[in-house]
Structure formats: C-alpha cells, structure tokens
C-alpha cells in the first residue's frame, strides 16, 4: 500500500501529540518529576487493557512501573494476594494517587455480579472499590471502552447491568476508549498528568492528544476513498468503506501509532476498522462487515 493522503490538521495534531508526550517522558527520565502512586482496578471486563499495557514499547511497561508510577494495587500483576493485597489498596487511599479502571462497573444486585476482593469476611464489589478510590483519587482514568462507555460488558442484553465509570462517579473521568486501549494512550496520558497535569480533552473527555482526529482523516487508503475506489472483498488493498469500515466515525491515532510497537494495525492488515474506540461500540457499530 503506497498511497498516503493526510490532512494538514491531522499532521499538526499528530506532531504536537508526539512532541508533548516525548517531552513528558524526557522530563521523567531526568527526574524533574517524581513517581505518583497508582491503583489499577480491574472491574467487569476481560483484563485486555492490562495485557495490552504489557505490550507497551517506547517507553515499555518496565519504565512505566519503575519510573512513572508506584502501582500499589493491580490484581493481575501485583505480588501480594488476598487481604494483604487489599490492605495495600486501602493504604493507598490515604495518599495522593491516580486511579485507572479497566472494565465496566456491574450495578445489578448492588454490584454483586463482580467481586474484586474479600476483606474481613466481607465481599468487596467492583462498584464499592471504584467508589472508594474514585472519590479520593487525584485523577481518574477509564482505560478501555468498557470503562469509558460500557463497551462489550454493557452490550445487549447486559445481564449484569454494566455501565461506564462516569455513570458511577460524580466527578470528572478522563476516558481512554479502545478495545483494548493502546498502551501508548495510557502511558502517554499518565506521563502528561505527572509532568503537566490534566491533558486537554474533547467533549467526551478523551485526551485530544490521541483522540483528536478520525482514523479516516489520516488513513493511508484515503486517496482511494476520495477517488471512489472501494474494495468489494476483504483482502483488497483499497478503501474498505463499503465493507463496513468505521474509520470515518472513530477518533484515534491508530494509523500513526499502530499496535504492538508500531508493527501493524487493522486497516494495514486489510481488516476494516470496527470502531472499537467509538462510544457506541459494540451495539452501535454492528454489523462489523457491512456497508
């Protein structure tokens, strides 16, 4: 695929996103800013966002954990378990910390569809844990589409009555949608918070750094779209609009950031964008392969 057509606005936003995040990472490397405590709660979801984080490159997850945050609680990667793990969670609430939540929040039966811990013989629901930490955190980040807008966890028929983080907390939540969330969006946002504070967000509270431009605006197949040359079958290397591509209504920097350390991305692999970072995903994006 040689064709490339990118609008000047997209190029400008792309450059400023890279330079701002790189500046933040540089400042952390030179120790101008100190690490901040962080809790990463996994609520109702597939844990795909923490797995995605482990794929981070430049900086990688080791840099994230050693230099940027003191991750006191995350049930997938912390060493402690049981009550002592939850005590770490409770101790962190008395400090300055940021909260990252992965997954939607189940509301049915007072949240009993998702128990995240047991402490002094009491079941702690994700709903309870999110409220405890969310009310005290300096910043709250919804990592992934389920936490940002309900996502697959809240898709029809939603038996556990899942909802997004903003519906549970009476405070501002920075949304980082994506199924999963690209690790660069998480680490970039946290880097920005550590060095400069809250990043500029759009009307859906997504950092403009990463969600400011549609995929369509910087898609390497855009010239085919402009000329009306559309793929009829999956595998054809032209515009996949008529195969259901949701790039025109999905705002992320996937065309430039790509995935797995920049190896590839869905459209680069002849797969239409399914709009996983769109707030209407998945119900509003279906069927995935149809104009």
Binding site for ligand SF4 (CB under 6 A): 215-216, 219, 221-222, 225, 239-241, 245, 247-248, 267, 273
Which residue lies nearer to ligand SF4 by CB, 206 or 221? 221
265: closest CA among 284, 252, 281? 252
Q: Rounded distance, CA 74 to CA 78, Å?
A: 6
Q: Residue 216's closest CA among 272, 142, 282?
A: 272
Q: For the residues of 216-274, what is the DSSP string, one character each?
A: GGG-TTHHHHHTT-B-SSTT-SSB-GGGT--GGG-B--HHHH-BTTTTB-TGGGT----
- Helices and strands in the chain, H and E counts: 11, 9
Nearer to ligand SF4 by Cβ, of 13 and 216: the residue is 216
Least CB distance from residue 146 to ligand SF4, whole Å? 24
The torsion angle over the Cα atoms of residues 258, 264, 266 and 271, rounded to 10 degrees, is 160
For ligand SF4, give the closer residue by CB, 205 or 223: 223
Least distance to ligand SF4, CB of residue 212, Å: 16
Taking the least distance from each CB to ligand SF4, the nearer of 161 and 236 is 236
> What's the min distance (Å) between Cβ of 223 and ligand SF4?
8
Assess whether the previous peptide bond of 59 is cis (omega < 30° from 0). yes
Least gap, CB of 272 to ligand SF4 (angstroms): 6
Shortest gap between Cβ of 265 and ligand SF4 (angstroms)? 11
**Residue of minimal Cβ distance to ligand SF4:** 247
CA 283 to CA 230: how far, in whole Å? 25
Min dist CB 216 to ligand SF4, Å, is 4
Q: Which residue's CB is nearer to ligand SF4, number 128 or number 217?
A: 217
**Shortest Å distance, C-beta 225 to ligand SF4:** 4
Closest separation in Å from C-beta 251 to ligand SF4: 11
Q: Which is nearer to ligand SF4, 71 or 267 (CB)?
A: 267
CA 152 to chain centre: 14
Nearer to ligand SF4, 29 or 291 (CB): 291
Half-sphere exposure for 284 (CA within 13 Å, toward CB): 14
**Nearest CB to ligand SF4, comparing residues 160 and 238:** 238
Strands 122-125 vs 115-119: parallel, antiparallel or unpaired? antiparallel
Nearest by Cα to 135 from 159, 188, 110, 171: 171
Cross-strand partners of 143? 102, 176
Can you tell me which residue has the tokens 């403009």? Answer: 208
């Amino acid at each position: 695929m040689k064709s490339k057509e990118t609008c000047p606005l997209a190029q400008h936003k792309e450059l400023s996103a890279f330079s701002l995040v790189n500046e933040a990472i540089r400042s952390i490397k030179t120790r101008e800013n100190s690490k901040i405590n962080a809790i990463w709660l996994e609520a109702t979801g597939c844990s795909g966002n923490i797995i995605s984080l482990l794929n981070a490159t430049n900086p990688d997850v080791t840099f994230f954990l050693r230099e940027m945050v003191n991750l006191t609680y995350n049930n997938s990667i912390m060493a402690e378990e049981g009550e002592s793990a939850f005590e770490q969670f409770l101790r962190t609430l008395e400090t300055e910390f940021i909260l990252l939540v992965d997954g939607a929040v189940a509301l049915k039966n007072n949240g009993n569809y998702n128990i995240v811990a047991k402490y002094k013989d009491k079941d702690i629901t994700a709903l309870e844990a999110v409220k405890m930490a969310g009310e005290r955190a300096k910043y709250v980040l919804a990592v992934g589409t389920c936490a940002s807008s309900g996502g697959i966890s809240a898709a029809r028929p939603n038996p556990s009555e899942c909802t997004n983080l903003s519906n549970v907390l009476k405070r501002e939540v920075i949304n980082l949608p994506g199924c999963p969330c690209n690790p660069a969006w998480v680490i970039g946002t946290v880097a920005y918070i550590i060095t400069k504070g809250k990043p500029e967000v759009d009307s859906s509270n997504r950092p403009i750094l990463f969600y400011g431009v549609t995929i369509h605006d910087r898609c390497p197949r855009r010239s085919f779209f402009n000329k009306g040359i559309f793929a009829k079958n999956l595998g054809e290397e032209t515009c996949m609009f008529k195969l259901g591509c949701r790039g025109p209504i999905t705002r992320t920097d996937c065309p430039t950031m790509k995935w797995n350390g920049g190896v590839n991305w869905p459209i680069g692999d002849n797969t239409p964008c399914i709009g996983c970072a769109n707030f209407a995903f998945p119900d509003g994006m279906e069927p995935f392969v149809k104009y």
